[in-house]
Structure 1
Amino acid sequence: MSAQRQALGRYGERLVERWYAERGYRVLERNWRCATGELDLIVTDGSQLVVCEVKTRSSGRFGTGFEAITARKQQQVRRVAAEYLRQRGGWRGPIRCDAASVMGRTVEVLTGAF
């Protein structure tokens, strides 16, 4: 991946992180990695654990970020989230998977997207 694309992705993740923080969520992990993949953001509101897949676009030329979160990508996120929970000893509350799309400074988050 090019340095420009990596920078764009980090930019979008920071905006989404701010979106969650403004709503009272606390960031537990950023770009958590294991052998099976990566989770962009893991946040909590205290009782609920949220895994968020973030897609950032510089333009709408290739569609929205949401369109890039395919069924296959959703399965991958679920697998990696399961590994995160296994390594951390589980979670005692509800768990939710969100999707975020960033274009420019516009952040859209679909809570409970998959």
Structure 2
Amino acid sequence: MDTMTLGRRGEACAKEYLIEHGWEILALNWRCRHGEIDIVAREADTVVFVEVKTRANARAGHPLEAITYRKLSTLRGLALRWLAAQEEWIPAFRLDVIGILWNNGLPDITHVRAAQ
């Protein structure tokens, strides 16, 4: 499986995980000229911007190891652009990261809240 397919599979898995936990999905793969946000969701009164990293196995390390300070900084900027594009005022938001490692065909999901 190529990395793009694996990534989309991971994003779909993360989306289902969030829905199962009662979150509302607001946007998938939101793009602007500065980049892309994998998932924009709402948990209670908080809008959450979610970066999803997926690995087929642990040979290249855990997926969360790929989330650098620079990546979080970019995600923060994209989140502000998304918020600015909304008509309603959003009082609370945060950045989360979901790492998915496939073990024998089953996803091992690690969810880090408030990954600032």
Query: TM-score surpassing 0.5?
Result: yes
Aligned to 2:58: 60
Name segments (4+ residues, structure 1) moved above 3 Å.
none
- Alignment match of 1:107 (pick from 81, 95, 109): 109
Aligned to 2:83: 85
Counterpart residue type for residue 106 of structure 1: D
How many residues matched?
Answer: 112
1:12-51 matched pairs, under 5 angstroms: 12-51=10-49
TM-score by length of 1: 0.92
Aligned to 1:11: 9
Structure 1 residue 90 displacement after superposition: 5.6
Q: CA RMSD in A?
A: 1.3
1:45-70 deviations in Å (ceiling 9; x for gaps): 24110000000001111111111010
Structure with the higher strand share, 1 or 2: 2
Query: Aligned with 2:40: secondary structure?
Result: strand
For residues 103 and 43 of structure 1, what CA distance do their matches in structure 2 show? 22
Structure 1 residue 74 displacement after superposition: 0.4
Structure 1 residues 23 and 35, CA gap change in structure 2 (3 angstroms): same
Q: Which runs of 5+ in 2 are unaligned?
A: none
1:10-60 deviations in Å (ceiling 9; x for gaps): 110111111110111010000000000000000002411000000000111
User: 2:47–2:90: 8 Å Cα contact kept in structure 1?
Assistant: no
Counterpart residue type for residue 101 of structure 2: M
Q: Which runs of 5+ in 1 are unaligned?
A: none
